[in-house]
Structure 1
Amino acid sequence: MDFILRGLLSLKKRKGKGIILLAIMLIVCLVILSGFGIQSATKAAAVLARQKLGAEVTLMQDMQKTMEKMRAQQDPAAEPTRGKGITRASVPIEYLDQLKGLENIKGYSLENSTGANLGDGVIAVASETTETTTAAKVGGGQDGKMKAPVSKGDITLMGINDFSLASEINNGGGELVSGSAITENDLEKNVVMLEEVFAEDNKLAVGGTIKLKNPETSVEFEASIIGIYKTNSTVDDTAFRNTAMMPYNKIYAPYTFVNTIKGSDYTGKVDSIKFFLDDPVNVDKFIEEGKKTNIDFETFVLDGGTREYDQMMSPIENVASFSKITLVVVTVFGAGILGLIIMLSIKERINEIGILMSLGEKRIRIIGQFLVEVLVILVIALSVAAFTGSSISKVATDKLLANELQTESQQQSQGVGGQMPQNIGRQGNGGGFSKTKVEKIEELNVKITATEFFQMALLAMLVVIVATIIPSLMIMSVNPKEILSKNS
């Protein structure tokens, strides 16, 4: 094994070139290690993003496509008209049969809502500044004439199939106080659940009845009170201005009863169907399987928080993409630079190669000597990278991610892209569409594990070996006599 000894002695003799090779190898190792670390952290961040959004998928109207259809149907030359509203598309309950048989479903909730007026002297809970929607303000028509007031209801009637799975309740927004909760067994029955404050103010209790009116037709319906619940929702500014938005004025009922109040056009339909999955990581799989059904996805969408997920992951994926490109570039150019330096170093040692070959030393052993030299330097580089890789990777990643977040924030504030706001289309607890605040992931938890280090070491070793063998073969393909004669 004398070629190993020769390699070690050569390193001791050529310290300057060894330091240059060490610096280049260390940079290559650190970049490769950071790249693998960022890729691993990106996968972990994707799981975290899904966990933040929850394991819920909602089948509802696709508001973005609805808006696009409306714009496409408008005549560019026509005068803009006031009062042009968005047409609400209810979800056929038959779609539930196509989806509830898919894997990973723990439960599902059918929901619809409408405003309703109260009868028999029952009043809604209101603040001093609240305006009831029964006495809605008079608005102007397209012809400038005054329109008759349109009543939207004093309370919100929330249709469900299971109280425990209702959006607000399932997220900790309320709990049963007395009586029984609405379940699938209550479908087709005229029963309701009242909020505790509303019930106390109106001296209503379980076993009593309450009358509700359709705000447009004034048709009255009587319902039995089977339960009292307590809401944990806070009163926001909107609720202070509108009794129907007060959380105390939300009455739960079977969705079939709500459809009866809304009218025959809503039979067999709901505003949305929400599916609860066993794990957030199965959301994308569920959506892909759902797209294979016969559901009209030109009108409806399976929303698993896709827009919010994309917003959360966009900066992180940009960093991961940049690191992947950098990894490829550094690997290729690092191999090229190392190969060039090693080739120049071998050319300077042409006389040594010629003497060794004339003494009968095999070419493979001479190449082995060069490999020993660079591999010893690589081991030193790997040792340094093992101690400094995590901290350097974290600093670099934090800087890249901060730049991405700042760039995205600037683009959003400037309205780059001309797209419709991303917060349109998420369904709120009241059955309407609400704004969703997306919590950004502002930090990537880059941890260099043994797996990433092992992958980096293998790739770095491959780069070094290729960068050494190719120039060595090119030089040692000549005859030793030619080497010595040229050198002399």
Structure 2
Amino acid sequence: MDFILRGLLSLKKRKGKGIILLAIMLIVCLVILSGFGIQSATKAAAVLARQKLGAEVTLMQDMQKTMEKMRAQQDPAAEPTRGKGITRASVPIEYLDQLKGLENIEGYSLENSTGANLGDGVIAVASETTEATTATTKVAGGQDGKMKAPVSKGDITLIGINDFSFASEINNGGGELVSGSAITENDLEKNVVMLEEVFANDNKLAVGGTIKLKNPETSVEFEASIIGIYKTNSTVDDTAFRNTAMMPYNKIYAPYTFVNTIKGSDYTGKVDSIKFFLDDPVNVDKFIEEGKKTNIDFETFVLDGGTREYDQMMAPIENVASFSKITLVVVTVFGAGILGLIIMLSIKERINEIGILMSLGEKRIRIIGQFLVEVLVILVMALSVAAFTGSSISKVATDKLLANELQSESQNQSQGMGGQMPQNMGRQGNGGGFSKTKVEKIEELNVKITATEFLQMALLAMLVVIVATIIPSLMIMSVNPKEILSKNS
């Protein structure tokens, strides 16, 4: 084992070159360690993003494709006309049978909604800035561009469901049953409703009573029995202050079959959306992939698991992860090249020593082993330093990269959408329109260097060092010892 001793003595003599190698190896180790740490943190962030968005998948109209079809059907040579709106596509209830048998489903909610007027002196809850009477809106007319007469949107919003406990707002903690019974699938085909507590108290309505509702367009009146009172936890936003129908207290729940009856015969056997609640957010992508294998018309509809929101949340993080991958490859390759060059120059300076050892009968493999001992001792020192400083340095570097990505994305968004459809458009709210989902950015990557990442880094760094040492050593060892000594005499 004398070659090991020679290697240690050589390190003692060549402290300057040892320090240079130590610095290069430490940089390589830290970059590799940061790369592995970022990859691991990215996977954890992906799970966190899914958890924030929830384990919900909604089958609804694909607004992106609807807009694209509209643009494709427009004649570029024709003058633009006012009043051409988006055609609403309701989801056939028969699609439920194709999806409810898939794995990981805990429940589902069929939902539709419409505005309705109130009868018998019942009035909607209104703020001081809104009127308690029916909300109206001007509707764009035909090609002449004139505005039609105001059309009523209804005093209240009637929300059709199949099960109150799985209704979107209620399932997310937006409300709870106060008295009476909740709507279940046993109430389908019945004219029953659930009123909000404030609305019921203001109008002195209770469980067991009745309420009359009218179609805002046809004025056809329907009577419904009150089977339950619920309390909403939703807050009043600016839209609700301007429109009584959007006030959370004015949301009345009913079986979706009853809502379809009020809306008209064209809506029989259809709903606005079908929402599936899964057992775990990590199963969302799997559910969507399995759903795409069914016979659902995905040219019109889409299984939305918050994909756009997920992409927005993960975009900066994935950019950082991608950059770290590129950096990892570049540093590994160039680090090996630089180490190989330094080691080759060092070996060339010791050519006379090599010639003498070989002439004394020392085997080539043992001489190469000596060089390996020297670089591996330096590598152990680099790994020791990296073990203590790797986590903090990785976190600082990651935070800086992520902050730059977030700033760059924010600047791009501030420059406008460039005429594109907003990313958050397409999620249907209980009011039948489209809700603007506020995407909560992930502004921090929790980079933790575990034993697994450190072991991966150590093995890769060791491979780099061994390759960088063996290749130049073999090139020099291939010559005859007499030639080495004759050239240096």
Category of TM-score, reference length = shorter chain: over 0.9
Change (3 A) 1:56 1:146: closer
Contact persistence 1:206–1:227 (CA under 8 A): yes
Question: TM-score normalized by structure 2?
Answer: 0.98
Contact persistence 1:178–1:227 (CA under 8 A): yes
Report the CA distance between 1:121 and its aligned residue.
1.4
Aligned residues: 488
Report the CA distance between 1:240 and its aligned residue.
1.4
Between the aligned partners of 1:119 and 1:417, the Cα distance in structure 2 is: 47
Report the CA distance between 1:152 and its aligned residue.
1.4
1:54-100 deviation digits (Å, cap 9, x = unpaired): 01011101111111111111112222211111111100011111111
Contact persistence 1:133–1:151 (CA under 8 A): no
Contact persistence 1:139–1:149 (CA under 8 A): no
Between the aligned partners of 1:141 and 1:376, the Cα distance in structure 2 is: 83
1:176-202 deviation digits (Å, cap 9, x = unpaired): 110000001111111000111111111
Structure 1 unaligned residues grouped into runs of 5+: none
Contact persistence 1:155–1:250 (CA under 8 A): yes
1:323-372 deviation digits (Å, cap 9, x = unpaired): 00000000000001101110111111011001001111000000000000
1:462 to 2:463 alignment: yes
Between the aligned partners of 1:35 and 1:95, the Cα distance in structure 2 is: 45
Identify which range, 143-152 or 319-328, moves more after superposition: 143-152
Report the CA distance between 1:138 and its aligned residue.
8.0
Contact persistence 1:173–1:231 (CA under 8 A): yes
Contact persistence 2:426–2:435 (CA under 8 A): yes
Report the CA distance between 1:288 and its aligned residue.
0.8
Between the aligned partners of 1:50 and 1:411, the Cα distance in structure 2 is: 24
Report the CA distance between 1:233 and its aligned residue.
1.1
1:67 maps to what in 2? 67
Identify which range, 419-428 or 372-381, moves more after superposition: 419-428
1:425 maps to what in 2? 426
Structure 2 unaligned residues grouped into runs of 5+: none
Report the CA distance between 1:147 and its aligned residue.
2.7
1:301 to 2:302 alignment: yes
Change (3 A) 1:137 1:411: closer
1:265-299 deviation digits (Å, cap 9, x = unpaired): 10110000100011111111111111111111111
Between the aligned partners of 1:26 and 1:138, the Cα distance in structure 2 is: 69
1:114-146 deviation digits (Å, cap 9, x = unpaired): 001111111111123214673645877653656
Between the aligned partners of 1:75 and 1:130, the Cα distance in structure 2 is: 42
Contact persistence 2:26–2:386 (CA under 8 A): yes
1:144 maps to what in 2? 145
Change (3 A) 1:370 1:124: same
Contact persistence 2:124–2:133 (CA under 8 A): no
Report the CA distance between 1:44 and its aligned residue.
0.3
Change (3 A) 1:93 1:146: closer
Change (3 A) 1:473 1:185: same
Change (3 A) 1:345 1:416: farther
Between the aligned partners of 2:37 and 2:140, the Cα distance in structure 1 is: 60
Contact persistence 2:138–2:147 (CA under 8 A): no
- Identity level (%): 97
1:8 maps to what in 2? 8
Q: Tell me the SS of whatever aligns to 2:58.
A: strand
Contact persistence 2:117–2:154 (CA under 8 A): yes
Between the aligned partners of 2:405 and 2:348, the Cα distance in structure 1 is: 46
Contact persistence 1:111–1:431 (CA under 8 A): no
Question: TM-score normalized by structure 1?
Answer: 0.98
Contact persistence 1:115–1:157 (CA under 8 A): yes
1:218-243 deviation digits (Å, cap 9, x = unpaired): 11111111001111111112111111
Report the CA distance between 1:426 and its aligned residue.
1.4
Between the aligned partners of 1:137 and 1:427, the Cα distance in structure 2 is: 22
Change (3 A) 1:145 1:309: closer
Between the aligned partners of 1:106 and 1:118, the Cα distance in structure 2 is: 36
Change (3 A) 1:145 1:392: closer
Between the aligned partners of 1:4 and 1:366, the Cα distance in structure 2 is: 10
Report the CA distance between 1:30 and its aligned residue.
0.3
Between the aligned partners of 1:29 and 1:477, the Cα distance in structure 2 is: 31
Between the aligned partners of 1:62 and 1:134, the Cα distance in structure 2 is: 31
Q: Tell me the SS of whatever aligns to 1:151.
A: strand
1:39 maps to what in 2? 39
Between the aligned partners of 1:482 and 1:160, the Cα distance in structure 2 is: 92
Change (3 A) 1:144 1:275: closer
Q: Tell me the SS of whatever aligns to 1:27.
A: helix
Contact persistence 1:132–1:244 (CA under 8 A): no
Contact persistence 2:45–2:445 (CA under 8 A): yes
Report the CA distance between 1:308 and its aligned residue.
0.5
1:152-176 deviation digits (Å, cap 9, x = unpaired): 1111000000001101111111111
1:230 to 2:231 alignment: yes
Report the CA distance between 1:412 and its aligned residue.
1.0
